[in-house]
Amino acid sequence: MSGLLAGKRLLVTGVITDASIAFSVAKLAQENGAQVVLTGYGRLSLVERIARRLPEPAPVIELDVANAEHLAGLADKVREHVDGLDGVVHSIGFAPQSCLGGGFLDAPWEDVATALHVSTYSYKSLAMAALPLMQPGGAVVGLTFDATKAWPVYDWMGVAKAGLESASRYLAMHLGKQGIRSNLVAAGPLRTIAAKSIPGFEQFEEAWAERAPLGWSLTDQEPAARACLALMSDWFPATTGEIVHVDGGYHAIGA
C-alpha cells in the first residue's frame, strides 16, 4: 500500500452526489492508500449508489448529526468496518430556506437554531462521537466558506460558518492534549447540491470568476479535497486550529 494516506482509516461525511467535495475526498483518499467509511443521512440507498462509483466499495453508516442516539452509536458502527480512525471529515451543513437568500432579518429562531445545530454544533458532536476510535496523530477536518465577511444571500449560513470556524479553534485547543488536530478548509464556491439550494448563488460565481488571481473552476472539487487529505496526512503534524483557503486566492484580494 502506498500514497499520502497509506494505512489511514477515514470517516467521511456528506457524500450526496459525485459532485460533492466529500465524494472527491473519499475517492482521492482511497487512491492514496486509505480505508474509507462513509456516513449518510436520509436516502441511504442514494449514498450507497454513489459509493459504488468510488475506486473501491465503501461501507455506508446512517448518521443524523442532530440525533443523539446516532452519535452515541457511531463508534460501534464504525468498528464493524475498521478498528479505529485516523481522520474524520465533516462535510455537513444545512439551513432552512428562510435563513438564506436575503431573509436574514426575518428568519425565525427555530430555523436559525436548526442551521446552527446541523452546521456548527455538529462539528464538535461528530468529533466527540469519533473520539473513542482516535489516537494521537489523528485529525478532524471540516469545510467552511470564508466567514470573515458578510456575503449576499448567505445570511444565517454565514453566521453558522463563523461559529464553525470558532468551534474548530476551540476543538483544537481541547483535543490538542490528546494529540488530535482540528483544521478547516475554506473552499471557494462550487456547484454542489448545497450551493444550488442557495437563492442567488450565481453572485458568488460571477465574483470569483472576475477576482480570483489563479482563476477558479466552479466544478472542480479536487483542489479542496486535496487540502483535506493533506491536513489529515502526516505532513501537517503540528498544524491545528488553522483555516486553509482553497479559493484561487480570492480571499487575499481587496475589493
Helices and strands: H and E segment counts in the chain: 9, 7
In whole angstroms, what is the distance from residue 87 CA to residue 141 CA?
8
Asked if 121 is an active-site residue, the reply is: no
Please tell me the distance from the alpha carbon of residue 187 to that of residue 208, in angstroms, as a whole number. Answer: 11
Closest of 113, 168, 176 to residue 144, by C-alpha: 168
In the annotation, is 161 catalytic?
yes
CA 183 and chain centroid, separation = 10
Nearest to 69, CA basis, from 60, 58, 77: 77
Query: Which residues are registered as beta bridge partners of 245?
Result: 186
The amino acid that residue 112 corresponds to is V
Q: Which of 8, 154, 177, 250 is catalytic?
A: 154
Contact 243, 144 (CB under 8 A): yes
Cβ atoms < 10 Å from Cβ of 132: 13
Rounded distance, CA 167 to CA 116, Å?
11
The active-site residue out of 41, 161, 170, 196 is 161
Active-site residue numbers? 154, 161
